[in-house]
Structure 1
Amino acid sequence: MADKQDLTAGFTGTPVEQPEGLARAARSAASGVKREVYAVTAGARDHPHTTSALLLGIGLVAFGFGYLLGRSPAESSTRSYSR
């Protein structure tokens, strides 16, 4: 059996080798996303009225766009043929 020193030897909570390639890119991208999310939430906390106005505006534009997309196929498929 291994004694207690062998089981904990070398474990510091961080990897011995630094990540390379895809792992490094993923870690860098994740930290960048975290910074940007924090910046957006801090801005939203500082300016609540602007945030709600932007969200309402985006919602109205999305609703209008969806309404227009939903109406256009209905109008083109209801052709009437008279003889």
Structure 2
Amino acid sequence: MVDKQNLNAGFTGTPTEQPEGLTKVAKSAAKEVQREAYAVVSGVREHPHTASALLLTTGIVAFGLGYFLGRSSVEGSTRKYWR
């Protein structure tokens, strides 16, 4: 039988050794990304019209750039796929 007093189902404490090297850098980067994401979300909450206008403008510019790049690649081609 299993002794129930010595049964540890999971670790819920904090590690005794502090993270070093790549682990430390990854945790620091994750905290910074979380802080920046919170800053963006709070900015959008305070200025919803500005955020939606910025998103719409970015989408229109990206669509136009993709359209013109696609058209320029078709015009330079000598083979016609669509007849």
Q: What residue in structure 1 maps to residue 40 of structure 2?
A: 40
Deviates more, 1:62-71 or 1:11-20: 11-20
Structure 2 unaligned blocks of 5 or more: none
Q: What residue in structure 1 maps to residue 21 of structure 2?
A: 21
List per-residue Cα deviations over 1:28-83 (Å, max 9, x = no partner).
0000000000000000010000000000000000000000111011111148xxxx
The structure richer in helix per residue is: 1
User: Secondary structure at 1:66's aligned position in 2?
Assistant: helix
Structure 2 length-normalised TM = 0.81
CA-atom RMSD in angstroms: 1.8
Q: Which runs of 4+ in 1 moved over 4 A?
A: none
Structure 1 length-normalised TM = 0.81
State the shift of 1:3 in Å.
Answer: 6.0
State the shift of 1:15 in Å.
Answer: 0.7
Query: What is the percentage of aligned positions where both structures have the same residue?
Result: 63
Q: Which has the larger radius of gyration?
A: 1
Structure 1 unaligned blocks of 5 or more: none
The answer as to 2:60 corresponding to 1:63 is no
